[in-house]
Structure 1
């Protein structure tokens, strides 16, 4: 038994499936997942099965009849989605119907919705049963999952990462923006989902390594050659330099390698470094 990964429509995530007869990459296949039979696209070649994995099953390559039925169900799901959105507005329910999906056999319809608070779904279930005999499953999704399903453009002008390639949503914190010296403007740091940009995590590790080599912000430093001292006001991790406001009232951009941190000034965190600690005060300040 071999393993191939497939991608379902409307999601970039790969799902490992067992198969007896490997299919070519890009082929449309009927697979047995958690919800039932669905159509998915094969995205990877066959690999040996791992004994500790939990897998679905590739049943067969999708036939023209399967694809026609899948397209018909997609149209039915789209009509049902807009009908439910209208019913939600008419009833004043504080929720948004994000997506509606049928299984290939038509026995299950999954309705994904987002809501800030717990809502009563009984009336919507009755509306769905007026349009289909399929079993109804409501699934609450968060803002990131919603952006993944709907698909939008990011600030970079490309398709947002969550609907393009992300396999999981890693935690993103405001500390990542601080470490990258970005302005703490919510409009600049938020993605289409209203949460912090997923891409803040991509280079965070590199910034953490760079920050170890420079003094932290507000640290007292002295130039190793001139002896001029001052306070660090801004960090430039990519160039390995900092802006220093000197005691003489001048602002200078200085390489971190040319500075020493005065004794008692800690490094680390958002701009801490390995800059050599000065063991004694310079002659001019004694």
Structure 2
């Protein structure tokens, strides 16, 4: 089925939606039908074959954009009202944002909390205040970062809030293989979890490490210098040998022999 990819606010994930006789241009705003109701999204891809998750109702009109702006202001009022209530009652939760659907019939409240909490006690009041059905959505550390948007250690917008489509499992072994310092401050992102970018070059590092001896093993150079492998330099293709005399010698893999 021919679709276009669209992106919603506060998420980089792209979803395929089918369209009518003519595909809306990339960069245009469209109104799409979702399980929550009508929502505004931006077209991010040219027409392509895909598995549609819904349909585009229409290209957004000036009236749609004006309605979205008004609902955004209303959502801001709900946000500050609920934030004040949480603070007043000592509820340990971080309120991230509130969003109305374009028809104004549904409002989702995104929050995060270290412990499981129940916010349903405020549903009735929120129903009256917002005039809409209320949905509470708890976000984990990584999803929270994607929702709010942050800068990464590289100085650019974090991958999870900019373009990353899915979270892939990241392990401490990836940091070890890349010879990175295992300090949490060095290998953790704004979310407090291991950097997603550790996975990007890991396969290349594994291939380079396969051509080198293991750390702490014994190796010798062609010149007869032997010692214990103290450090691996996979990008340079060298290892640092510590000899019995205590000196350190850097040897290229082409001049190295080991069992």
Q: TM-score, normalised by structure 1?
A: 0.87
Select which of 230, 239, 242 maps to 1:242.
239
Is 1:228 aligned to 2:225, yes or no?
yes
Give the number of the structure whose alpha-carbon radius of gyration is greater.
1
Q: How big is the shift at 1:99?
A: 1.7
In the alignment, the residues of structure 2 paired with residue 83 and residue 194 of structure 1 have an alpha-carbon distance, to the nearest angstrom, of 29
**Alignment partners' CA distance in 2, 1:85 and 1:156:** 32
Rounded Cα–Cα distance in structure 2 between residues aligned with 1:63 and 1:54: 23
Q: Which moved more, 1:58-67 or 1:127-136?
A: 127-136
Is the aligned partner of 1:161 residue 2:162? no
Counterpart residue number, 1:202: 200
Residues 57-112 of structure 1: CA distance to partner in whole angstroms, max 9, x if unpaired? 11100000000001111111122112212211111112111121111111111111
Q: Summarize deviations over 1:167-191 as a string: whole Å, max 9, x none.
A: 1111111111101000001011111
In structure 2, the residue matched to 1:32 is 33
In 2: Cα distance, 1:110 partner to 1:148 partner: 16
Counterpart secondary structure, 2:129: coil
Q: Which runs of 5+ in 2 are unaligned?
A: none
- The alpha carbon displacement at 1:54 in A equals 4.5
- Whole-Å Cα distance in 2 between the matches of residues 169 and 31 of structure 1? 25
Stretches of structure 1 lacking an aligned partner (at least 5 in a row)? 262-276, 278-286
Contact 2:3 2:52 in 1 (8 A): no
2:86 and 2:162 map into 1 onto residues whose CA distance is 29
Inter-partner Cα distance in structure 2 for 1:123 and 1:41: 35
Q: Matched residues in 2 for 1:127 and 1:90: separation?
A: 15
Moved over 6 A (4+): none
Match of 1:93 among 66, 83, 91: 91
Corresponding residue SS for 2:249 = strand
Report the Cα offset of residue 129 of structure 1: 2.2
User: Partners in 2 of 1:131 and 1:92 — Cα distance?
Assistant: 21
The answer for the alignment partner of 1:183 in structure 2 is: 181
* TM-score under structure 2 length normalisation: 0.96
Aligned residues: 258
Q: Quick check: 1:2–1:22 contact (8 Å CA) kept in 2?
A: no
Q: In structure 2, what is the Cα distance between the partners aligned to 1:174 and 1:90?
A: 40
Counterpart of 2:23 in structure 1 is 22
In structure 1, the partner of 2:110 is 112
